[in-house]
Amino acid sequence: MYARHFRFREDPFGAAPDPKFLYFSREHAEALAALHYGLLERRGVLVLAARPGMGKTSLLHHLIERWKDKADTAFLYRPPETREEMIAGVLEDLGLEPGPSYAENCRRLRDQAFESRRRGRRLLLIFDEAQGIPPEVLEEIRRLSNLETPDEKLIDIILAGQAGLSLEGEALRQRVGIWTEMGILDTAEVRRYIEHRMRAAGRLRGRVFSRGALARIAELSGGIPRNINTICFQALSAAFAKGARRVGRSAFEPAPLHRLRFRWAAAASVLLLVGSLVGADYWRRTPAPAPTTVSAAPPLQVVAPPAPLVVQPPPPEPDHGSVVRVERGETMRRIALRYYGRWDGEIWQHIQKGNPGLNDPAKLLAGQMVVLPASGAAR
């Protein structure tokens, strides 16, 4: 409801994982680069670990999107409890019909791996929430990674789980070629994360959160994106209800106890005073009833509250790209990884089209404004 009030096209802090709001912090960019490298070099089993709410699953979806033209992918969102459930889930996500037995399903997966290789594609299996996979099922996943030719592995596997993920079994740990972990966002990254989501929602100018508010959000959220979204949503909703256009640090500070007591006491006094005045006026104006007349009390009138105001956000506009302010020490490579998820010659030429005077990607000035053309055109 606050979208139009703050001049957003849509809610920038919604609960649904929308790809256009994906923000590549330094941690996200490094994790994504590690997974890309592991797949390119065919390192076998890759591990991605992160605390809940860090955007791990969104990062995996982004990786799948980047590899969709080169790999056949099965993505299991929930940890399988048995090896039969695991292999059947993999086949179904690949569009294949599971067979009557585990051995038969393993043969079908092997045949699919050779078929993908024949077509010049990879076979990628991703298991999310890997910390919940039983050890005996993890051992079966390890055995799938044994499928290879003399030249290369036929199946790539990514295990994604919460920070502190431990893989039981020496054989499985020896198969891990890349292990990458995403840390929490620091205060500066929290600020950039919030600004990125507001830009993606359509607000291109004007500050909504004060610096003190941003620092307080970083403190309360613990640097976890999911917590940041919840806190920002609540703060903007409260500001909208008050008609405020900005959110300051005071919005996150509880009122002192003595002030709350004073407010409640004052409110109670006002209510008592108004009630006594209204009652006195009523009895003064109402004549006493005749002694022989007995009248029933008037029925209680229940007044329904007014219907809530529903504010429809304006229709979405086309993505025209973003304008970013260069922070001290930033390079074009780091900015491109954060906004596009990759850095190569094609991306650099794409950025130069929007910034004709930009010649050296390593030499940017603090405070310089850089135009990042729409991400769709960079693919």
The pLDDT tens digits of the residues spanning 49-73 come to 999 999 898 899 999 999 999 999 9
Give the global pTM.
0.65
2-16, 51-65, 355-369: range with highest mean pLDDT: 51-65
Task: Identify the CA nearest to 63 among candidates 96, 90, 86, 40.
Answer: 40
Q: Six-digit token pair at 150?
A: 């003399």
Among residues 296, 285, 48, 75, the alpha carbon closest in space to that of 165 is found at: 48
Query: How far is the C-alpha of 176 from the C-alpha of 67, rounded, in Å?
Result: 20
Q: Which two tokens stand for residue 266?
A: 């004052």
* Residues sharing a CB contact under 8 Å with residue 63, sequence separation 6 or more, in sequence order: 32, 35, 36
Tokens of 48: 């991605």
pLDDT at 327 over 90: no
Give the pLDDT of residue 149. 81
The per-residue DSSP string of 253-272 comes to SPPPHHHHHHHHHHHHHHHH
Residue ranges in the chain assigned as alpha helix (H): 26-40, 56-67, 83-93, 102-118, 135-144, 170-175, 187-200, 211-221, 225-242, 257-285, 332-339, 345-354
* Contact residues for 190 (Cβ-Cβ < 8 A; gap 6+): 214, 217, 218, 221, 223, 228
CA–CA gap between residue 293 and residue 106 (Å, rounded): 92
List pLDDT tens digits, range 191-206.
Answer: 999 999 999 888 877 7
Q: What is the pLDDT of residue 207?
A: 86
pLDDT reported for residue 284: 53
- The mean per-residue pLDDT over the stretch 261-265 comes to 50
Asked whether the predicted pLDDT for residue 272 surpasses 70, the reply is: no
> Mean pLDDT: which of 88-92, 308-312, 314-318 is highest?
88-92
- Tens of pLDDT, residue by residue over 139-179, are 999 999 888 887 788 999 999 998 878 777 777 888 888 89
CB 229 within 8 A of CB 264: no
